[in-house]
Amino acid sequence: MTQTAATPTTDTTTSDRAPGLFDPITLRGTTFRNRLWVAPMCQYSAEREDGVPTDWHLVHLGSLARGGAGAVIAEATSVTPEGRISPQDLGLWNDAQLEAFRPITDFIRSRGSVPGVQLAHAGRKASTFRPWSDEQGTVPADQGGWRTVAPSAVAFEGYDEPAELTISDIAGLVEAFRLAARRSVEAGFELIELHAAHGYLLHQFLSPLSNRRDDEYGGSLENRARFLLEVVRVVRSEVGGTLPLLVRFSATDWADGGWNEDDTSTVAAWCRDAGADLFDISTGGLVSGVSIPVGLGYQVRFAEHVRMNAEVETGAVGLIVGAAQADEVITSGRADVVLMAREFLRDPHFPLRAAAELGVELDYWPAQYQRAPFRLS
| Opening angle at CA 329, ends 73 and 252, nearest 5 | 70
Distance CA 52, CA 45 (A): 9
Q: Of 337, 327, 333, 317, nearest to 357 (Cα)?
A: 327
Distance CA 315, CA 330 (A): 9
Beta strands in 137-232 (DSSP E): 149-150, 163-164, 191-196
- The three-state secondary structure class of 323 is helix
**What are the catalytic residues?**
200
Distance CA 293, CA 281 (A): 16
Q: Indicate the helix (H) or strand (E) that contains 104.
A: helix 95-110
Distance CA 277, CA 332 (A): 21
Q: C-alpha dihedral over 230, 233, 236, 240, to 10 degrees?
A: -130
- Give the relative orientation of helices 167-186 and 226-239 as an angle to the nearest 10 degrees: 30
Q: What are 126's strand-pairing partners? A: none
Distance CA 100, CA 98 (A): 6
Q: Of 344, 291, 290, nearest to 317 (Cα)?
A: 344
